[in-house]
Structure 1
Amino acid sequence: MKHKWMNSPYTFALGMFAMMVPSQAFSSFYSYFYVEKLGLGIGLATLARTIFLIWDAVNNPLFGYWSDRTNTRYGRRRPWVFGSIPLFMLAFVLVFSPPGGLSENGLFTWFLVTLIFYEAVATVLWVNYGALLPELFRGDRIRAKASAIQQGYQVVALLIGTALTPKLFAAINFSNMAIVYACLFGVFMFLCMMNVQEKKETTKTEPLKLIPAFRETIRNKKFWVFNISNSFAQTVNGLVSSMIPFYAKYVLHISEAQVSIMLAAVFVSVIPLVFVWYWIIRKMDGVKAWRLSLILYALSVIPLWFGYDLVSGVAAGIVVGFGLAGFLVTPAIVGGKIIDEDAEKTGLRREGIYTAVSGFITRSSGLISALAFFIVGMIFGYKGGDAPGSDPEATFRYLISVVPLCLLAISVVISFTIKFTFTGQLRGDADYDQKINHQL
């Protein structure tokens, strides 16, 4: 008899929790650590991110392609994840542990090398873990449930990775904070993978070669519109979370210790709201719910412009939480439909390469975020903690409210440029949901 926790949405979501704690701490504080604390110029920080993206453009489709072609007794995805666990732990610690006494060029070199190492290993993890959701859970309803549970776990991880991190690095420094989070990641990722059993694919179709596989993926118009739209929204996720420490200091004028309260305001509100969005998805078409989440997310960043102290900042953060909750839950439904439709067309389950290319598009949004930081900083004269310019308050009001609003408006417009229609079993009716998941 199959273990009751095997392929359970609850144990599967432990992987999201494991990866998001260090990932969120990284995205929220690596810029603050290197620019504000260590004095690395934002121009060099932007250059490092750009160089990484060139490498990332190559390794994402390769890792996805290799994952799809992997065939072991333990599955296609699990061996990659198990192999990446210790490497990710090491990479995360190195990012926050530069040697003392480095010159600015030396600091830039350390940042660039560790960033490339960290992101390469993170790519392997996200590609293979991300490919498991549409593979293990097939049908709209079960995917909506799995996604909502996953995002609930993710929000808990976001709270730890953002609200607890300032307290940790203030108490034990950045390097020791990274060691704590690396160990937490290792334990929960291992528990997740021990409770995953991949479905054995019975297709006899020969796997596509790299170029045909990549060509088939890039020809999928729905895939591109969906992911490009999401990339602008994903930029907002990273931009808002990474700007909150600056926003707290220069706009709200609160202490570094109170940053945790501001971060918690955004993410605590998300926990119950992801299940509100699960209810919305059950009541309406998944594509419409996805578009609605983008619209509401855009409106939710407006109140951040009006923050001026801790109370007003917390109130604005709660509003952002509702928009963020929708964007966390709804994309999994549309993305799963696109992958299912591709499987019907090609006769192959190709979650790996779709997740990989999607991941690259999403992570490339980091360049947009970095460029926004650089351009707005230059306009207002912000160069770093030692040279904040004449109006750092305006700098970070624009970066946390106006820029995200513009990016989300672009996301909404792109989402309407193509009609998403899915037929047959892709409708995700209850009978199909139940039948396909009994086969796993």
Structure 2
Amino acid sequence: MAQGSSGEDERLSFRTKLSFGVGSGAESIALFSVGSYAMLFYNQVLGLEAHLAGLAISASLFLDGISDPLVGSLSDRTKSRWGRRHIYMFFAPIPIVLSLIAVFNPPDGLGRWGLFAWFTVTVILLRQSMTFYHTPHLALGGELSRDYTERSKVMAYNSFFTWAGAAGTTWIALSYFFKATPEYPRGLLNPEPYAPYSIVMALLALALLGASAWFTRDRIPHLPKAPENLPKFSPFEFFKDIGKAFANRNYVWLLVAYFFLSMMIGLRGGLHLYTNTYYWHLTSEQIRFFVIGSFAGYLSAFLFAAMLHGRFDKKRTIIVSAIVYALAPSAPILLGFAGVLTDQTAGLLPILIAFSILSYGAASVLSISIMSALADIADENELTFGVRQEGVLYSTRALFAKVDQAIGAALAGFVLTLIAFPTKAKVEEVPAEVVWNLALWDGVLAGVPGFIAVFFYARYKITRASYEETKAALAARRAAIRAPLATATQAADDVPQPLVPPVISPRPAE
């Protein structure tokens, strides 16, 4: 039986939630740098074909997805003086930062296949290293509290700092590294800043990853522990863990929904910079102001997601936010197709930022809701199987996400090839038909999987009432287990003890 603290429903301190959230920001710095800039760097700066760059990212996501549940099961079963999660969080940061630097610093003179191999190997190493931090760290967030809404607050910190890491990375990159120059009016196409950029971001990620692990270590005694009789990690036990997770139908619906949602995310993520640069004709300096939209969206979610869960429940919040997330990024491009918006529209940037507020806010509320719901599913599985599986539950979800984002990233690369998007392309030289096809994929077709996800999210069944029933059943079980121990202890105290004459020490000499 998993064990927790005696005060399992206590509210967490601001320090604990902040320290947990900082780790999410550091993860975002590393992964966002690769997810947003690496494909453009290898394709448009180094000249690697888009479909090969997309395949490299897809391979890393696919292998990373496979390793996620392995690490999740391993951490669920880990017994150490540093608990189940922190032992991995302390040792993973070094390989993370080394591989991040390597991604953006390929050796000179590599040919087509050498460049492809370097990109593939380094991005795989980065994501594999990150798995040993990200999976235990996310599981830690799921088990910090057993309270229905406090879990949502914890995951609000996770979501907000995930945004902060990505937004801070964007602002630093576009403000200080990829500024426009006479030779490179689109600063992201300048090859020179990528090396110093990768070093600075790697060191920043290292500091934040270490801080998150160090300043949450005081919670180790209060976290659930692996049962003493739980077998050690093995392939057989791993598949048993996966079977327990998939036995929960609510979990399966969330996974299927996230599969389709991630396809949308992967496709849009691969095409987003291309659309802003070649369809809307935005400069790097203008693109950085999307940070304003993302800040407003994620701040709103940070402040109000837990309140929405208290008033409307998590399920309804999940459905509505998923609909908005699928629709909002498509709206400006649909208006573009209708002729309402063009790259010459007065106030175009503020209009695009306004739509981004809706998109980012919905994405953040959805993420907070799902992450909090997974902790509720962990309660259901503890009631059924007697063990807590935060590591497996969060990491298997990550497997679905990454495999599907791999498909989305590969699809983005093949879309660019399909529409004959040129390499090392200048904005004014790309044919209008190619740009229109780019917008069609990014603005319309990419949203279809998101609406499919809504259908499956609607099949999720846990409500606050059912959660309270599960929580009460778990409390009764723990009380029943503690009762015999308390009786035995009291019985031992009631046994008369033999009288022992007092020992009189000799008086010290004066």
How high is the TM-score relative to the length of structure 1? 0.89
How many residue pairs were aligned? 429
CA distance in 1, matches of 2:405, 2:72: 20
Q: Which SS does the other structure have where 2:174 is aligned?
A: helix
1:372 partnered with 2:400: no
For residues 407 and 119 of structure 2, the distance between their equivalents in structure 1, rounded to whole angstroms, comes to 19
Distance in 2 (CA, whole Å) between partners of 1:279 and 1:409 is: 25
3-state SS in 1 of match to 2:47: coil
Aligned residues of 1:222 and 1:418 also touching (Cα < 8 A): yes
Q: Give the CA deviation at 1:377.
A: 2.3
- State whether structure 2 residue 466 is matched by structure 1 residue 423: yes
Task: Give the conservation status (yes or no) of the 8 Å contact 1:301–1:404.
Answer: no
Q: Verify: 1:201 aligned to 2:246, yes or no.
A: no
d(CA) in 1 for partners of 2:145, 2:424: 47
Contact 2:64 2:128 in 1 (8 A): yes
CA separation in 2, counterparts of 1:219 and 1:273?
31
Judge conservation of contact 1:382–1:395 (CA < 8 Å) in 2: no
CA contact (8 A) 1:64 1:128 kept: yes
| Alignment partner of 1:88 is 2:96 | yes
CA shift, 1:177, in A, is 1.0
Counterpart of 2:140 in 1: which secondary structure? helix
Report matched runs for 1:204-223 at 5 Å: 204-207=228-231, 209-223=237-251
| 1:361 to partner: Cα distance | 0.9
2 CA distance for matches of 1:381 and 1:65? 44
SS in 1 for 2:388: coil
Q: Which of these residues, 274, 293, 317, is aligned with residue 265 of structure 1?
A: 293
Aligned: 1:278 with 2:312: no
1:60–1:123 CA contact under 8 A, matched in 2: yes
| Aligned counterparts of 2:301 and 2:77: Cα–Cα separation in 1 | 38
- What SS does the corresponding residue of 1:254 show, helix, strand or coil? coil
Cα distance in 1 for partners of 2:318, 2:150 equals 17
Match of 2:40 in 1: 32
Give the Cα separation in 2 of the matches to 1:412 and 1:67. 31
Give the deviation of 1:369 after TM superposition. 1.8
Q: Check whether the contact 2:275–2:442 (CA below 8 A) recurs between aligned residues.
A: yes
1:101 is aligned to 2:125: no
Superposed CA RMSD? 2.7
How far residue 331 of structure 1 moved from its aligned partner, in angstroms, is 0.9
Q: 2:395 aligns with which of 350, 356, 360?
A: 356
Give the deviation of 1:202 after TM superposition.
7.2
For 1:400, give the aligned amino acid: D
Q: Is the contact made by 1:139 and 1:428 (CA closer than 8 Å) also made in structure 2?
A: no
Residue in 2 that maps onto 1:400: 442
Map 1:11-410 to 2 at 5 A.
11-170=19-178, 173-196=193-216, 197-198=219-220, 199-201=223-225, 203-207=227-231, 209-305=237-333, 306=335, 308-309=342-343, 310-386=349-425, 391-410=433-452
Q: 1:438 is matched with which residue? A: none
Alignment partners' CA distance in 2, 1:205 and 1:176: 50
Q: Give the helix-richer structure, 1 or 2.
A: 1
Partner of 2:453: 411
Superposed CA deviations along residues 381-403 of structure 1, whole A, max 9, x for unmatched, are 22433495653322331233213
Highest CA radius of gyration, 1 or 2?
A: 2
Q: Which amino acid aligns with 1:150?
A: N
SS at match of 1:269: helix
Q: Please state how far the C-alpha of 1:19 moved relative to its aligned partner.
A: 1.3
Task: Note closer, same or farther for the CA distance 1:424–1:235 as it changes in structure 2 (3 Å cut).
Answer: closer
Call closer, same or farther: CA 1:88–1:355 in 2, change over 3 Å: same
Q: 1:57 to 1:311 in 2, by over 3 A?
A: closer
- Structure 2 residue matching 1:317: 3-state secondary structure: helix
Change (3 A) 1:276 1:403: farther
Partners in 2 of 1:211 and 1:318 — Cα distance?
41
Map of 2:500 onto structure 1: none
Which residue number corresponds to residue 8 of structure 2? none
The amino acid across from 2:406 in the alignment is: L
Deviating more after overlay: 390-399 vs 340-349: 390-399
Distance in 2 separating the partners of 1:361 and 1:14: 25
Using the TM superposition, name which of 263-272 and 118-127 deviates more: 263-272
TM-score in terms of structure 2 length: 0.77
CA–CA distance in structure 1, aligned partners of residues 27 and 61 of structure 2: 21
Q: Name the CA distance, whole Å, in 2 between partners of 1:99 and 1:389.
A: 33
- For 1:352, give the aligned amino acid: G
What amino acid maps onto 1:308 in structure 2?
T
2:187 matched residue in structure 1 = none
Q: Report the Cα distance in structure 2 between the residues aligned to 1:182 and 1:56, rounded to whole angstroms.
A: 20
**Separation (CA, whole Å) in 1 of partners of 2:382 and 2:322:** 27
Structure 2 gaps of 5+ residues are 1-11, 180-191, 336-340, 344-348, 479-510
